[in-house]
Every structure is written in C-alpha cells, then in structure tokens.
Structure 1
Amino acid sequence: MTETTVRGSGECDASSEARLPDALAASLAALGAASVDGLGEAELLEVVALLESTKGAASALQARATERFVEQRDGLVSAAVAREELSDRQASLQRRAARSEVALARRVSPGQADRHEGVARALVHELPCTMAALTAGQISEWRATIVVRETACLAAADRLEADRRLSGCLTTLGDQGLSRAAHRVCADLDQAALVERRRRAAASRRVGVRPAPDGMAWLSVLGPVAEVVGAYAALRSAERGRHVATGDARVDAERAADERGEGAWLADTALELLSGRAEGQPQPVEVALVMSEAALLPGVAPASDGQASVAQTIVAPAAGEQVEVPGFGAMPPETAREMVLRLLAGADADDAASSGVWLRRLWTSPGGHELVAMDSTRRLFHGGLRRFVELRDQGCRVPWCDAPARQVDHVEAFARGGETSAANGLGVCQRHNLDKEQPGWSAEVLASGLDPGGGRPHEVVLSTPTGVESRSLAPPPLGHGRGAIGQVSTGPVPAGPMEVSHPDVLWSPLEVRLGELFAA
C-alpha cells in the first residue's frame, strides 16, 4: 500500500510553466467527473477515439517534461563535476537517482523509467516526425516506442532519415508491420550497425523465471535463434521417439501407459534434464509456503469420550484457508498440501540434509496481518533477521518497484545511530539502496510493525530532492486482498522436549499436533 504526496517547491510564480500543472489537474478532474450516460453509439465511439488521441498527446507532453527534467538535473550534476565537487562515480549515482524520481512520478519500476527516459530523449531530439504524430494524437505511446526501439542502432543522421521514411506508415500499419518496416529501413541505411546490434544481443542471452497463473511458472531462455530452435527441435524429436516401439516389453509397456500429452511430456523432460534429477526424485530447492495451521493440518473431530484432546486445538478448515508462495502469489490449500505430501513421500530418510522437508515458524500479530519478531546487535543484516525482513517485505519496498529485495539495509543509516533491527530494516533492490543514500533523499520509519497487539504494519516514508513523499506499508504475510490467518491456539502444551526447551512459548495448533506425533 502506498501513498504519494507532493510538497510545494517554492517556485509558484505567474509563469506558464507554473500554471501548467494546475491546467492539467483541472483537465484530469473534468475527465473524472465526465459521464457517458445518455450518449448514442456514434457518440460513444467518438469519445473512445478522442480519448485515445488524448492519451497520445498526453504521452508526448509527458515525454517532453521527462526529457527536460532529466536534462536539467544532469546539467547540475555535470556542473558539479566540472567544479570538482563530485567524483565520476558520485555523478553517475546522482544521475541514476534522478531517473528513479521519474519512476516514482510515473508510478513504474526504475527499469521501466529508464526505458521511458530513453524514449523521451529520442523523440525530442532525433525523431521529429514520430513526435509530431504522437503530439497530434495520431499514434500511441507504444507505437512511438516501437520506432525508437527498432532505430536505436542508427547514428543520429541515419535516424532522422529513418524517421522521415517511416512517417508515411505510422498511422496505417499494425504494430508488427511497423516493427518490420523500421527493421527494413535500418537494414537499408546501415547494415553494419544492425550486425553490431545482433552481436550485442547475443551477449545478453540469459535464463529467467516468472510466475504464471494457477500455481505454475514460466522458465524462459533467451539465446541466439539457431541454438534455441535447435534445442527445441531435439526435444520434439525425443518426444516423437517415445511412440516408437523399442522391442523391450517393459519399456514399451511403460510408454504405452504414459498418458501425458505432448506439451506435458516436453515440459517434464526439459525440467528433468535441466535440474539433473532422476525420475521421481524431489526437487532439492526451498519453496516458501506461507500458510495457516488450518490450511496445512485440516481439523479433526473431537474425541468421542468428551475429554480434551490435541485434536480439539487444531483450527478447523474453512473457505478462508490461505496459502501464499512469496514472490509468486496465492495457491489453493489443497495444492500446497499435495506439494508437502509429495516431498515427504520422496524424501530420503538417510539424507535429510539434501531431501528433507523443513517447517519454519514465524511470529505474527494476533490478526496475522504483519510479522512481529527479531532484533540484532550486528552491523549487517544476516541469518534469521535478514530472512525475516525478506519474508516481511516480499520484494523491494519502494513504491511501484517490482524488483526482488536483493539487499536488506538500514532505514536510518547505521553510521547515524540506526539499529540493526526488524523495525529499522528495509528490503530494497540494489538500485534503490544506492538511490536513498544520495543528497536530498531521506527515509524514516513511521511504524515499526512490531506491536504484538496487532498495531500498524511496518511503514516507511521516502522523500526525494523534489519534495515528493512516498509511503510504503509492509504487505500482509499472505499477500494483499487476504484476511487474517488462523487464530493462535491456546491449547495445552504437549509434554516433551519442546516444553522443556521453551517453557514461555504459546504453542500454535500446528506445533501442538506435531509435538504429539513426535511423542508417539
């Protein structure tokens, strides 16, 4: 949850630049108050078309404002370098921090803001025809981005010529057609630049993973087309070979019993080959599941003799069972239980370190909306404290940034007396960790989130040199859009080693149940 406000900068004069934000705010208010009730079909479509043109014109103005802001900020940094007030590294960090301010203003990640800034600079300085079409509302921001992207390899003079050649088809071709046309223009104007671009693209080959719906995930490989197509062809050839009889009765029987479709077989085989696992071997990697006791251990009916039992302390399952895979989203409880059972069934009792299943307990407030625990006297965030902050923040906490929290840093710097604690810790990406240390940036903890009584979650306010304040609340452990997790049990503590080693702990239903099982 984020909230953004802008403080006055003290530059409210009568100039047209100072009045422009007010005019835009009035236009935004008029659009928000407008209604389409009573309009005919032709008028409704006219509204759709005009708003599409308005978005294009607004994107052009946004690009000019972005380019001017970055140009002015870079000019100040360059002047400081010329006066030897800043080193080259400090100048680079301050320039990058300026782009992060653009990210907050556009409500996007810093990576997206960098791309927007590059598009704005190209449109303003090197692509006048495309900029004119965007300003007139004839094309969308995405179509302008296509032209910028496809002509990025050209020198300034060649880019101007490419812009002129493409001006006639900007409003007639589809997105793919425009992309191909721009590619042809680049091939005609500078083939060497196109070859160099492809060489650099080959150096950026990589593998990535991203979440997909329904508890799935995408594994993507970016590489040269010949190698990628060749690998896919080899996999397809192996799939077709599974339908050919081998003469071995056992192998042929197993293949005949395999009811997997082509896509499922290809995916299973590729994952087995990449991970190096044998068939049936569990995946030796940690997958965090945040779930309530009711979701992991469904309730059991009370004992027939009416006596109190451990089973009575287990929270009964309900429609509100909640499971979250940090970084990937929600998962049905039944699917999570199947995952745990599958791992338990495939675990090797003689090698628990490599194939065991571990359960880690985290303390939450009674409502389950925030994690509460852990402090440290160390200078750096390590071990359990670091893991705690990572699970609490679930990614970079700076608004609009979707990057993973590669670093855990102090909100108030350690050098200025900041503690190495959960309250003063913040999960951030590397870029934002460097940005908040630049001149004019500051961060402050508004709420520690450590109130065991269920107070406010961890909250931080981030201020930028231009007076923008962005507030960030720690997400709930089970993700936004969810209610509270199961209530903490007040059932009896089972006798055994756990009671002896932790006499002051209020045991959860899960631990009560596991304690009885271990004792048995």
Structure 2
Amino acid sequence: MFEASEVTSPQEPTAAPGVVLDASTVTAWTEALLNVSEAVGDDDARIDVIGALETLKSAIAAAQAELSVDFDESMRAKAAASGVGKRRQGRGIPEQLALARRESPYRGKRHLGLAKLLRKELPHTRAAFRAGQITEWAATLLAKETACLEVDDRAKVDKEIAGDPEAVAKLSEKQVGDQARKMAAKLDPASVAHRRAKAEKDRRVTIRPAPDTMTYLTGHLPVGQGVQVYAALKKAADTLIAGGDERTRAQIMADTLVERVTGKAQAPAVPVMINLVVSDQTLLGTSHDPAHLDGHGTIPADLARELVATALEHEIQTWLRKVYASPHGGLTAMDSRARIVPHGLARLIRTRDGGICRTLYCDAPIRHIDHATGIANGGETVEEDLQGLCEGCNYAKQAPGWTASGHHSPHGRHQVTTTTPTGHTYVSTAPPLPGWAELEPRRLLAVPEPEDPTDLLAEYELIDVEAA
C-alpha cells in the first residue's frame, strides 16, 4: 500500500520568507493568545479571529504531522547507522511523539501512521490539511475509508475529494468520510467486502469509565446483529411502558440488557471478581475518602460501601486482601532477590500504580511488571525499581537510548524518571491510595498488623458471610 505511484502533487503552502520556526517562536504565540480578549475589540473582529484560529488549529496539527514524519525518518536512519535491524528501527518512536504531544502511545502511533500516509499516498488531502482547510479528523476519515484500496484508486479518491481546496473546505467531517466511503465502494467493491469480513472477525465488547461513576459498555458488532440487539431491547421497553412501567425507555433498555446478560434482576448479585481498594475508615463508615475500583478508577465512599454491602446481602463469597500503606499513601517497600517478580510483589505494584500503565498520558491497563532500571544495568527486583506498564510501553523502552530509574519522592509516593533518546525527561508519580493520611500510617483494610514487617501482602482471607 505504500509503494511509489505516479501521483500529481498539488501546490504546497509555503512559509513567509525570513520566518524562523522553532520552539521559542511557538511558545511566543501561546503567550500572545493569553491576551486575545484584550487585543480583539469588536464582535466583527472576534468572529474573524475565531475563524482564523480554527484554520490555525488544523495547520498546527498538520505541522505536527510533518515534523513527526521527519522525526521518524531521522531516528530510523540513526538506528540503521548504529546497526539496528530494520524491524527494530522504529521501536520507541511513536512513544516519544506521544510524550511530546501529551497523549497515549496508542494515539501517538495513530497520528504517526496518518502523517506517513498523507505524505506518501494522499498529497491533496495533505495540502488541504496543511492549509487549514480540513481538520485532522476529516483527514483521518478519508484515510480510514480508503485503507482497503490500491494506491492508484486511493489517489483518485484523494484528488476527487480534496483536489479542489474551496470545495473541500465547505464539507463537514462526516461528509468527507461519507464521500470517501461511497467512492471506495464504487472503485473496488471486492476489497470493501473483504474489509467488512475482516471487521466482523474483530467483533468485541469493551468497557470504559464514564462520568458520575457510570461506565460505557460497548458492543462492536456486525451491523445486522447490532440492529437486532437494539430492536429487541426497544421492543421490550415499549411493551413494559404500555403495561404501565414508569421508567423511561432508556432506563428499561439498560436494565433489560443487564438482566438478559447476567440472568439476574440485580447485576451486583452475579458472583464475579472485582478489585476494590478501600481504606478501613471508609469501609466502616467513619470516613468519606473515595475508593478505587479496578478497571474504572475513583468511586465515592458511599458506592464502595454499597458494593461490599450488596455482596454480603446476597451471600456472595467476598475476599479481602490486606495491604499496608505508608503515611503518605504510598505502599510500603517489599524486597525480592529474584529477577522474576513474585506474585505478591506484582499484586503490590499493580495496586500501588492503580492498575494503569505508569507511562505519562497512557491509560492502558497494566500487562507487565517492569524493572525501571534493567537487571543488566544494575536494577533490582524491589518495589522502588518496579513499575506497571502496558505491553507496548514496556517494549518501547527497550529501544536504544531509553533509560529509566525508580525512586520515592519527598512525599513518599513512588516515582519513575524516564529519559528518551533525545534527552527529554519525564517523571511519572504513582497515584495516592484511597484514604491516605498525612500524619499517621493508615491500613487499607481493618486487619491485624503482621507479626513479620516484611510480610506486607498477606494471603486472601474469606469473610464468613453468616458471621458478618
């Protein structure tokens, strides 16, 4: 798909002569925008500036894309000159870009992929993007909808939609995507059908946090199945409403989904494992410190107590794991001489890091317990030198030029300092544990102190439901 092709490149926008673009110049723009309200005096001018800033936003995103490709090519060339194999030359590059953009490594990879694609196969879309005539998302939609096409067909779609700068500037993001989808289906229906078959294999269900301690449960399904599921839920809701149910249609559809999937009228009664980190004071009702629910994040104290109480009420086996914290909310150290991280210490690290990858801006779940300073470089299997990382971030830091070290900050929480091959330094701090105290140590659960101070992570204990 990235083979060279005969594509006529449009006229590229050029910078004004004598303009030097560096980080200090861009920083000056940012500072100038702080006083924009004072600089713009009337409503006509405000609308003009708002429109110009919108164009600038797209042009800035395009400039980031251009610099990302340049950075990728330069870093790969340096790696090749150092004898790094071709398959490993790109390792760590998207992650460096993501740190600079303050976004997750996944988004960094997506942005770099789009930037390379625009330069190699979509010259008209690239030109419109650089001129600020289309947004980054519009460029992304055009690229996604033509991903199944051969280079020549993709070039036709690119020229047809983005070849006229004035026309493409009048299209909405959705219209750009719709037009690209229609043209792709007409130019190569077989590849579109193949792409649909592949997408059906990728069907899945995902969950992510939502505001107000809610969650988004998403089913990525073939269109026929998705429509059937929605129609069945809507029909059930309409039937209950006709019978006098006072809930809204949306509420009934949500409740029906839970009941049909779990087989229970009350979802909390389903015996599945959830990891809830809560202080003893919150659990016993003497504090309102929030708790942490694995896979979601912070939840209020009353909801944490409700989850535990509901489990006990329905006689579900409930297990408590004892973890002990320092005075400032950080977990107490736990040593091991083994290179392989013991299970107990691994659970400690996951709890300390909140279940989320420690790389700045990365929201992926922890998959690997990693030595910040590798064993080969003198690292040890101790709490201070360990961090929880997602799979991608762990592999990225294995690229040449990456270094990291773990340590504790003055306030007691664990920190990891990471330095990238360009010399930029980033410091990641572990989140404070629920219910941390400033003056005295606090345990996460009301259990006896261990006789052996090194036994910081005890085995599971089963609560006697009847006795409770």
TM-score category of the 2 structures, normalised to the smaller one: 0.7 to 0.9
Task: Determine the structure 1 residue equivalent to 2:391.
Answer: 430
In the alignment, which of 430, 448, 455 is matched to residue 408 of structure 2? 448
Task: Determine the structure 1 residue equivalent to 2:25.
Answer: 24
Task: Determine the structure 1 residue equivalent to 2:140.
Answer: 145
1:19 deviates by: 5.5
Task: Determine the structure 1 residue equivalent to 2:350.
Answer: 390
SS at match of 2:90: helix
Is the 8 Å Cα contact of residues 91 and 399 (structure 2) preserved in structure 1?
Answer: no
Task: Determine the structure 2 residue equivalent to 1:314.
Answer: none
User: Per the alignment, do residues 33 and 223 of structure 1 end up closer, same or farther by CA in structure 2, a change over 3 Å counting?
Assistant: closer
SS at match of 1:404: coil
Is the 8 Å Cα contact of residues 118 and 126 (structure 2) preserved in structure 1?
Answer: yes
1:227 deviates by: 1.7
Does structure 1 residue 468 correspond to structure 2 residue 468? no
Is the 8 Å Cα contact of residues 206 and 218 (structure 2) preserved in structure 1?
Answer: yes
Task: Determine the structure 2 residue equivalent to 1:231.
Answer: 229
User: Per the alignment, do residues 321 and 133 of structure 1 end up closer, same or farther by CA in structure 2, a change over 3 Å counting?
Assistant: same
Task: Determine the structure 1 residue equivalent to 2:296.
Answer: 328
Could you tell me which runs of 5 or more consecutive residues in structure 2 were left unpaired when the two chains were aligned: 1-16, 455-462
Is the 8 Å Cα contact of residues 444 and 462 (structure 1) preserved in structure 2?
Answer: yes
Deviations along 1:402-430, one digit per CA (max 9) or x if unpaired, are 11111111112223442211111110011
SS at match of 1:381: coil
User: Per the alignment, do residues 66 and 200 of structure 1 end up closer, same or farther by CA in structure 2, a change over 3 Å counting?
Assistant: same
User: Per the alignment, do residues 261 and 20 of structure 1 end up closer, same or farther by CA in structure 2, a change over 3 Å counting?
Assistant: closer
Deviations along 1:267-325, one digit per CA (max 9) or x if unpaired, are 333334434558677232332333333322234xxxxxxxxxxxxxxxxx4xx532332
Task: Determine the structure 2 residue equivalent to 1:37.
Answer: 38
1:212 deviates by: 1.4
Task: Determine the structure 2 residue equivalent to 1:114.
Answer: 109
Deviations along 1:464-493, one digit per CA (max 9) or x if unpaired, are 222221111111124xxxx84486589xxx
In the alignment, which of 367, 373, 395 is matched to residue 406 of structure 1? 367
Is the 8 Å Cα contact of residues 376 and 421 (structure 1) preserved in structure 2?
Answer: yes
Q: Partner amino acid for 2:96?
A: E
List aligned pairs for 1:98-497, cutoff 5 A.
Answer: 98-167=93-162, 168=164, 169-240=167-238, 260-275=247-262, 282-299=269-286, 317=287, 321-347=289-315, 355-368=316-329, 370-394=330-354, 395-445=356-406, 447-448=407-408, 455-478=411-434, 484-485=436-437, 488=440
Does structure 1 residue 54 correspond to structure 2 residue 56? yes
Deviations along 1:183-210, one digit per CA (max 9) or x if unpaired, are 1121222222222221221121111111
SS at match of 1:170: helix
State the distance in 2 between where 1:67 and 1:489 align.
50
Q: Which of the two has higher C-alpha Rg?
A: 1
SS at match of 1:371: coil
Q: Partner amino acid for 1:331?
A: I
State the distance in 2 between where 1:191 and 1:381 align.
51
SS at match of 1:286: coil
1:129 deviates by: 1.9
Q: Partner amino acid for 1:194?
A: V
State the distance in 2 between where 1:182 and 1:130 align.
12
Is the 8 Å Cα contact of residues 289 and 325 (structure 1) preserved in structure 2?
Answer: yes
In the alignment, which of 71, 82, 107 is matched to residue 73 of structure 2? 71
SS at match of 1:95: coil
State the distance in 1 between where 2:235 and 2:150 align.
44
Q: Partner amino acid for 1:264?
A: Q
User: Per the alignment, do residues 444 and 273 of structure 1 end up closer, same or farther by CA in structure 2, a change over 3 Å counting?
Assistant: same
Q: Partner amino acid for 1:166?
A: I
Deviations along 1:3-47, one digit per CA (max 9) or x if unpaired, are xxxxxxxxxxxxx99953246335435435533226211222222
TM-score (norm 1): 0.75
Is the 8 Å Cα contact of residues 94 and 435 (structure 1) preserved in structure 2?
Answer: no
Q: Partner amino acid for 1:268?
A: D
User: Per the alignment, do residues 374 and 187 of structure 1 end up closer, same or farther by CA in structure 2, a change over 3 Å counting?
Assistant: same
SS at match of 1:287: coil
Structure 1, 186-195 or 208-217: larger mean CA deviation: 186-195
Is the 8 Å Cα contact of residues 381 and 408 (structure 1) preserved in structure 2?
Answer: yes
Q: Partner amino acid for 1:380?
A: I
User: Per the alignment, do residues 201 and 17 of structure 1 end up closer, same or farther by CA in structure 2, a change over 3 Å counting?
Assistant: farther
User: Per the alignment, do residues 29 and 241 of structure 1 end up closer, same or farther by CA in structure 2, a change over 3 Å counting?
Assistant: closer
SS at match of 1:36: helix
Deviations along 1:225-263, one digit per CA (max 9) or x if unpaired, are 11222233334444555579xxxxxxxxxx98x765443
State the distance in 2 between where 1:25 and 1:239 align.
54
* Cα-Cα RMSD: 3.3
State the distance in 1 between where 2:74 and 2:147 align.
23
Q: Partner amino acid for 2:284?
A: L
1:135 deviates by: 1.9
User: Per the alignment, do residues 18 and 101 of structure 1 end up closer, same or farther by CA in structure 2, a change over 3 Å counting?
Assistant: farther
SS at match of 1:218: strand
1:439 deviates by: 1.3
User: Per the alignment, do residues 104 and 129 of structure 1 end up closer, same or farther by CA in structure 2, a change over 3 Å counting?
Assistant: same
1:71 deviates by: 2.3
User: Per the alignment, do residues 265 and 373 of structure 1 end up closer, same or farther by CA in structure 2, a change over 3 Å counting?
Assistant: farther
State the distance in 2 between where 1:135 and 1:504 align.
61
- Number of residue pairs aligned between Structure 1 and Structure 2: 434
SS at match of 1:96: coil
Is the 8 Å Cα contact of residues 93 and 435 (structure 1) preserved in structure 2?
Answer: no
User: Per the alignment, do residues 181 and 29 of structure 1 end up closer, same or farther by CA in structure 2, a change over 3 Å counting?
Assistant: closer
Q: Partner amino acid for 1:456?
A: G
State the distance in 2 between where 1:46 and 1:503 align.
70
User: Per the alignment, do residues 285 and 378 of structure 1 end up closer, same or farther by CA in structure 2, a change over 3 Å counting?
Assistant: farther
State the distance in 2 between where 1:128 and 1:374 align.
56
Q: Partner amino acid for 1:70?
A: D
User: Per the alignment, do residues 45 and 239 of structure 1 end up closer, same or farther by CA in structure 2, a change over 3 Å counting?
Assistant: closer
State the distance in 2 between where 1:22 and 1:230 align.
53
Q: Partner amino acid for 2:55?
A: S
